[in-house]
């Protein structure tokens, strides 16, 4: 799948699907339009095959996204929508609920994004009490017959946070956990841009995202599907994430360095790796390296 961030406004869904992605995640979409953070706000770290961004949920708002999604009708393709709150929101739970109410009718799944480091205070919504209240608001706004709700988490979580999030996700019967967003940590980087503020993605995120996926696999006991994202740039990377517990994988930053053929290359490579390791289906391989 294509992770959120590239097609923030639902403008390129069918073209991106034609590149070989099995599903497209639109967004992050906020209820009202907002310009995002001042430019420059996106930096390529070519020496590290990485990206730092501090975009700040720049998007045209939920009504614009709804209008575009409505024109697709019954066209093929699995499309999820990633929800966020406006930077100046006085009630962030209400913002997420409003997004779920408006966009739920057009989405195969909704994502509650509380893990971006580029909106001040947003990650505090991952705290246990705040998260439970937020998910209650989103689930109520989505309605009983609405799409499944996923939660996207940060890779920079402490063990206690992981346990609490896993417990809440199970209690609220979420559709999946997306592990993970960008990191605010800075491993050893070569680029002169390494000190830029924002979230780091790409190759340096890979090991951290893999470790968090394993943590959530163990914390959930395999009872909630996991989506692996962060540093995936090859079929081997995707295969390692699947064997560690991911039912789905996403990518974004690797397109900068590998080009638009990456999704198809990974799909073909996964088929070969599956046969090499003796699995008849990808589902059989999910979590084989991390028993629950």
How does pLDDT run across 157-206, given as a tens digit for each residue? Answer: 989 889 999 999 999 999 999 999 999 999 999 999 999 999 999 999 99
pLDDT band of residue 128 (cuts 50, 70, 90) is confident
pLDDT computed for residue 120 by the predictor = 64
Place of tokens 């294509």: 2
Q: Do the beta carbons of residue 146 and residue 196 sit within 8 Å? A: no
pLDDT in tens, 246-270: 999 999 999 999 999 999 999 999 9
Q: What's phi and psi for 52, nearest 5 deg?
A: -115, 130
Catalytic residue status for 116 = yes
Q: For strands 246-250 and 226-229, give the pairing.
A: parallel
How many Å from the N-terminal Cα to the C-terminal Cα in the chain? 25
Count CB neighbours of 283 within 10 A.
Answer: 9
Residue 233 has what pLDDT? 98
- Whether the pLDDT of residue 123 is over 70: the answer is no
Dig out the tokens for 205 from the structure.
């995120």
Catalytic residue among 116, 180, 201, 253: 116
DSSP assignment string, 190-231: -STTTT-SSEEEEGGGHHHHHHHHHHHHHHHTT-S-EEEESS
Task: Categorize the per-residue pLDDT at 83 as very low, low, confident or very high, splitting at 50, 70 and 90.
Answer: very high
**Residue 72 pLDDT level (bands cut at 50, 70, 90):** confident
In angstroms, the CA 247 to CA 166 distance is 16
Instruction: Kindly report the pTM of this predicted structure.
Output: 0.94
Determine contact, residues 34/87, Cβ cutoff 8 Å: yes
C-alpha span between 271 and 285 (Å, rounded)? 12
* Strands of the sheet with 226-229, listed across from one edge: 23-29, 78-83, 109-113, 149-153, 176-179, 226-229, 246-250
pLDDT band at 227 (very low <50, low <70, confident <90, very high): very high
Task: Place 114 in a pLDDT band, splitting at 50, 70 and 90.
Answer: confident
């Amino acid at each position: 799948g294509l992770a959120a961030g590239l097609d923030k406004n639902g403008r390129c869904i069918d073209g991106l699907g034609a590149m070989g992605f099995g599903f497209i995640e639109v967004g992050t979409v906020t209820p009202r339009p907002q310009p995002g953070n001042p430019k420059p706000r996106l930096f390529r770290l070519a020496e590290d095959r990485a990206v730092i961004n501090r975009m700040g949920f720049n998007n045209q708002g939920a009504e614009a996204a709804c209008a575009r999604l409505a024109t697709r009708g019954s066209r093929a393709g699995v499309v999820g929508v990633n929800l966020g709150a406006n930077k100046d929101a006085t009630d962030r739970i209400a913002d997420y609920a409003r997004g779920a109410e408006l966009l739920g009718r057009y989405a195969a799944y909704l994502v509650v994004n509380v893990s971006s480091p580029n909106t001040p205070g947003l990650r505090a919504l991952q705290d246990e009490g705040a998260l439970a209240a937020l998910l209650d608001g989103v689930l109520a706004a989505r309605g009983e017959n609405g799409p499944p709700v996923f939660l996207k988490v940060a890779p920079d979580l402490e063990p206690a946070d992981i346990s609490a999030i896993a417990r809440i996700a199970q209690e609220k019967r979420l559709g999946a956990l997306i592990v993970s967003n960008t990191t605010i940590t800075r491993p050893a980087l070569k680029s002169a841009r390494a000190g830029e503020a924002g979230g780091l993605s790409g190759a340096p995120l890979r090991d951290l995202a893999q470790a968090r996926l394993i943590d959530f696999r163990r914390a959930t006991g395999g009872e909630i599907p996991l989506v692996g994202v962060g540093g995936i740039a090859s079929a081997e990377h995707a295969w390692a994430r699947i064997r560690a517990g991911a039912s789905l994988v996403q990518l974004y930053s690797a397109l900068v360095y590998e080009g638009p053929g990456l999704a198809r290359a990974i799909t073909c490579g996964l088929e070969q790796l599956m046969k090499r390791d003796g699995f008849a289906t990808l589902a059989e391989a999910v979590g084989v390296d991390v028993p629950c």
